[in-house]
Amino acid sequence: MTNQAQEHISQLTNHKRIKYLDISNRDLTGDADLKEFTALTSLNSYNNKFENLDFLNTLPNKEQLKKINFFGNQIKEIDLSHLLSAFPNLEYLNCENNPLRTVLLDLLEYAQKLVSGGNSSQQQNAQYLQALIQQGSSPIKPVDNKENGNNAPLLVGGAVVLAVVSALGIGYLIGKKRKQN
């Protein structure tokens, strides 16, 4: 049975005092209005059926949110540049086990910004990401893997992109903290 997220969240009390919100394993769907969660620093929402993270934009104190866990939902797309901009102190993001599609243009734009303004480590990671994205857009002969089901190249490529994106995100957050100090 699926539940509407807003119905579940409306049943909670003391919204303004909640720092850690755990709404996991409830088959929740839809959007939720989080405007009353003024102290929220961590949202744990694994194993639900959310399709996007748009409702996070209703949080009033976005700079307080540090951890987001949406493992095992139905999220298809994430705008990382918006997420990292809207939640400047985000330290942890888990969106594993979702049917995510990589948004290469957003990643390329983010990589270009890091190449021009990041530290040397960020610049190296961004240049590597740019190379991966450009390789992915070049024409490649399709390989018929129907007979042997060999998806190893896809898994390795996905793992490399995930590792680079994670490194860029961590580098972004570290660089931002250094600028504050």
Question: Where exactly are the structural domains of the chain?
Answer: 3-94, 104-180
Residue whose structure tokens are 């992109």: 161
CB within 8 A of 124, min separation 6: which ones? none
Nearest alpha-carbon partner for 45 in 13, 65, 20, 62: 20
* Cα–Cα distances in angstroms (integers) from residue 51 to residues 31, 54, 55, in the given order: 9, 9, 10
pLDDT in tens, the chain (181 residues): 557 999 999 999 999 999 999 999 999 999 999 999 999 999 999 999 999 999 999 999 999 999 999 999 999 888 877 888 899 888 888 888 888 865 555 565 666 666 666 666 656 666 666 666 555 443 333 334 344 444 445 555 555 566 666 666 666 666 666 667 6
DSSP H helices, 37-181, are 80-86, 104-117, 120-137, 152-180
The CATH T-level fold of domain 3-94 is 3.80.10
* CA distance linking residue 173 with residue 91, whole number of Å: 7
With H, G, I as helix, E, B as strand and everything else as coil, classify residue 153: helix
C-alpha span between 60 and 18 (Å, rounded): 13
